[in-house]
Amino acid sequence: MATAFADQLRSLSDDALGALIQLRPDLVVPVPADISALAVRAQSRGSVARCLDALDEFTLAVLDAARLSRGEETALTSVTAIVALASGVSPDDVGVAIGRLRARFLLHGPEEALQVVGAVDEVTSPYPAGLGRPADYLDAQAAALCADRAKLRRTVMAAPPGARAVLDRLAAGPPVGALSSGGTVAEPVQWLIDHHILVPVTEAGRAPRPDGELVELPREVGLLLRRESGPLGELRPFPPSPQGPVRDVKSVDSAGAGQVMEAVRTTEALLEALSAEPAPVLKTGGLGVRDLKRLARAAGVDEPVAALLLEVAYAAGLLGESDAAGTGRGVTTSRATGTADEIFLPTGAYDLWRALSVAQRWWALATGWLVMTRQPGLVGQRDDRDKPINALSPDAERAGAPQARREVLAALAELAPGTAPEAGDVLALLAWQAPRRARGREQTHRDALAGAATLGLTGRGALTSYGRLLESGDDRAEADPLGAGPGGERLPGASEAVRALDALLPAPVDHVLVQADLSVVVPGPPEPELAAELEVIAELESAGGASVHRVTAASVRRALDVGYAATDLHALFQRRSRTPIPQALTYLIDDAARKHGGLRGGSAGSYVRSDDEALIAEVLADKRLSTASLRRLAPTVLVSPLQLTRLLGALREAGFAPVAEDAAGAAVLSRPKVRRAASRTPVSARIAEPAGPLLTGPRLAGVVEQIRRGDIATRAARRAPVTVRAANGQSVPGLTSVQAHTQAMAVLQQAVRDKARVWVGYVDAHGATLSRLVRAVSLSAGYLRAEDERTETLHTFALHRVTAAVLEE
């Protein structure tokens, strides 16, 4: 069978073989040595399961029809038999589905003698289309009843209401149910057993016995009960069409762009809050509940949104762990003492990210979200141990999350532009497109929809134009999300999505509007340089398309502390403001500058000095500074045991305006030291596409040619047989190295399925070619595990050392 399958692949044209590789790219990871190796891989459990995962509901139903219509002796079916089972559906639609299965070589052979790949039965339900096994396999009395169709129909019609409800449930599939509940067989179930409509069985695949733990509905009874809906149940050749309002594309893009600005602003606020007050890493990993609440309050969002954006920032390389000294990752969490030696801090890449345009910053976040193997929607829920799942903790790791996000975006992209479907309609569409993959992923898909809305990929429930460009995959060619020139200007290789979003966002502004009440209106997103200046000289009051800041005495004092002089501040406002500078702002700056530096501190622990003796006396008498334990050394000098930074902070809280000075008495004016974690590689830069390589054009032709050449070389080598000898030195009849390694793999797979004994030829550690007669147990992870019944020893063979295999006759 394996040889016939390989011969069918060998007979394909190069174009047809290339089409198969494109449909099943995992077959060439790595590139097989020859056609026989390709055939073995195409029939393996893992590859067949991956191929089935990508098939739609109708194609899987047609595959079930092929399994049901197989002959008992030949295990063959035909197009005619499959079409007959798919009643109520156009034969043309069935033919298209059969074509999809044959193109993927899940069905192979001529139309009147089609064969289902053996691994299909191993990786799918033992009950095709939800129908049970034939009655003659289950029970002789049930087989006799089913042979008389008129008697079977009368018996089913005579079933009591409770028994008929059981039959209807089992007929819908799966066809098995529990025999008893609490040790007692229910009366309807017992009636059906007594009348041989249900058969007690053990677990599927084992031999039936009268005292089985389950009951099974024979296939013939299931087909009788499905006489109205058809043998395969309700068939849907075409996907469900999601219903929803069709919104104006411009309004969708506008709403999405507004949400993009909000997502970028919130992410920056979260990371700034962590920079000002780093959060410790929990002993079990992740961010504590209290810290998440604190950060959410600081950014003005709810906790789920804060958790999502923190996870995305981590995936984009903007957030990382650092030792408590802020020198990057170097000290691990001490689990023995229970002390946390690590904290969450923005990385060095965060400072580069802040200098980019809003569209580029969004691109870094969106691509990080798209590929991160995290499910932020789980944060706040409880795990299997009834413990809460924390943000950034290992418990939120989900390997299937990136695939689920791509599926959601692809489903939205298939709809007409502006269509805003309900979440339930999107889930129904995904369940039709890939039912095996969608099973159990409903919450993951809902989280993907919520994440897309939060990041602005969707607006008013519909996919945006730049979201479509991101989903199409063109943007994945740009490896560096922070790849921009000085000042954030666009590089030649910038993504189309970034360009499309840039056109929707308001142009960055380099000016402000200063009001008489000392409020500062920024009529658009500020340029990076202006944003850095506003962060120092004013307090943010409201954010959005146009943000509002306010100049206060504290913000002016902060600007003076980082090195601005009064003349610098006057010049800055004159340069940036498009409105006249109010006199109140001029007075505020001059008054703060006059007071600033009137007190100077140094280390003693620390000291405070001033040429103004009255001011020193006022400080010493201030009860609010009692915790500083100030002591007069001279009429103009006070000392304190506190460190200088703490003393200056206490003085500022009391309303004074001190500055630090160095050993020479010069004022020390500087910005606060910014703490950063070590830079991390963004997730998007180190996660490859899970579906396999994208093979097109010359690359695909090269792979096909390599396989063809390897096949020619292998077939030529078969002309020189080498006898394989057993461990005692005698030759083993029928076992030679002309059996290619790949053919041996097919024999071993068959031996594992049948639990059969097989001669295995292999190369030992000394390079000698030997063989053993063993009973195959399992074949996985590159190893064959088999039992030598003569010595009662379990052997493990590395598959790359296996040279041949022959089933025992």
Please report where in the chains the tokens 């989900």 appear, as a residue. Answer: 398
Rounded Cα–Cα distance for residues 646 and 641 (Å): 10
Burial 647-675 (b: 16+ CB within 10 A, else e): bbebbbeeebbbbbbeeeeeeebeeeeeb
Q: Is 322 helix (H, G, I), strand (E, B) or coil?
A: strand
pLDDT at 602: 67
Q: Comparing C-alpha atoms, which of 622, 597, 625, 602 is closest to residue 612?
A: 597
Q: 292, 307 in Cβ contact below 8 A?
A: yes
Token pair listed for 279: 């959060």
The larger pLDDT score, comparing residue 336 to residue 462, is at 462
Query: Distance from first CA to last CA of the chain, Å, rounded?
Result: 17
Q: Tell me the one-letter amino acid at 139.
A: D
- Model confidence at 507: pLDDT above 80: yes
Q: How many other CB atoms are there within 10 angstroms of residue 477's CB atom?
A: 8
Rounded Cα–Cα distance for residues 366 and 356 (Å): 15
Q: Comparing C-alpha atoms, which of 45, 49, 42 is closest to residue 5?
A: 42
pLDDT at 97: 95
Rounded Cα–Cα distance for residues 534 and 508 (Å): 14
pLDDT at 684: 57
Say what the alpha-carbon torsion angle 419, 420, 421, 422 is, to the nearest 10 degrees: -170
At residue 799, φ and ψ (nearest 5 deg) are -65, -30
Compute the C-alpha angle 19/22/27, nearest 5°: 110
Rounded Cα–Cα distance for residues 679 and 647 (Å): 33
Please report where in the chains the tokens 């004159």 appear, as a residue. Answer: 574
Q: What is the DSSP string of 710-728?
A: HHHHHHHHTTS--EEE-TT
pLDDT in tens, 107-139: 999 999 999 998 898 899 889 999 998 988 888
Q: What is the DSSP string of 14-69?
A: HHHHHHHHHHSGGGGSS--SSHHHHHHHHTSHHHHHHHHHTS-HHHHHHHHHHHHT
pLDDT in tens, 583-621: 999 999 999 999 888 887 766 788 899 989 899 999 999
Sign of CA dihedral 323, 327, 329, 331: negative
Q: Average per-residue pLDDT in the chain?
A: 84
Please name every residue paired with 783 in a beta bridge, in sequence order, or none if there are none. Answer: 780, 798
Token pair listed for 222: 């299931």
Q: Which 3-state string (H, E, C) describes 543-586?
A: CCCCEEEECCHHHHHHHHHCCCCHHHHHHHHHHHECCCCCHHHH
Q: Tell me the one-letter amino acid at 33.
A: A
Rounded Cα–Cα distance for residues 748 and 760 (Å): 9
pLDDT in tens, 705-757: 999 888 887 777 655 454 545 444 455 554 444 444 667 778 888 888 888 88
- For the entire predicted model, the pTM comes to 0.74
Of all residues in the chain, the percent with pLDDT exceeding 70 is 87
pLDDT at 66: 93
DSSP 200: E
Token pair listed for 549: 């800041």
Please report where in the chains the tokens 């997103």 appear, as a residue. Answer: 525
Residues written for the chain: 809
Rounded Cα–Cα distance for residues 649 and 672 (Å): 13
Contacts of 183 (CB under 8 A, 6+ apart): none
pLDDT at 651: 92
Q: Exposure of 129 by Cβ count < 10 A (0-12 exposed, 13-18 middle, 19+ buried)?
A: buried
Token pair listed for 629: 């334990």
Please report where in the chains the tokens 């919130």 appear, as a residue. Answer: 266
pLDDT in tens, 669-707: 776 667 777 776 676 555 444 444 556 778 898 899 999
Q: Comparing C-alpha atoms, which of 341, 335, 344, 352 is closest to residue 306?
A: 344
Token pair listed for 441: 């992923």
At residue 737, φ and ψ (nearest 5 deg) are -75, -5
Q: Residue 71 — very low, low, confident or very high, per pLDDT cuts 50/70/90?
A: confident
pLDDT at 478: 42
- Model confidence at 1: pLDDT above 70: no
Please name every residue paired with 388 in a beta bridge, in sequence order, or none if there are none. Answer: 382
Rounded Cα–Cα distance for residues 290 and 385 (Å): 21
Summary count for the chain: helices (H), strands (E): 34, 28
DSSP 799: G
Please compute the mean of the pLDDT values over residues 188-202 and round it to a whole number. 88
Q: 192, 166 in Cβ contact below 8 A?
A: yes
Token pair listed for 78: 């035909």
Q: Comparing C-alpha atoms, which of 732, 576, 601 is closest to residue 662?
A: 601
- Model confidence at 491: pLDDT above 60: no
Pinpoint the alpha helices (H) of 195-302: 219-225, 249-276, 289-299
pLDDT in tens, 374-409: 999 999 998 888 889 999 999 999 999 999 999 999
Q: Comparing C-alpha atoms, which of 507, 443, 503, 497 is closest to residue 469?
A: 497
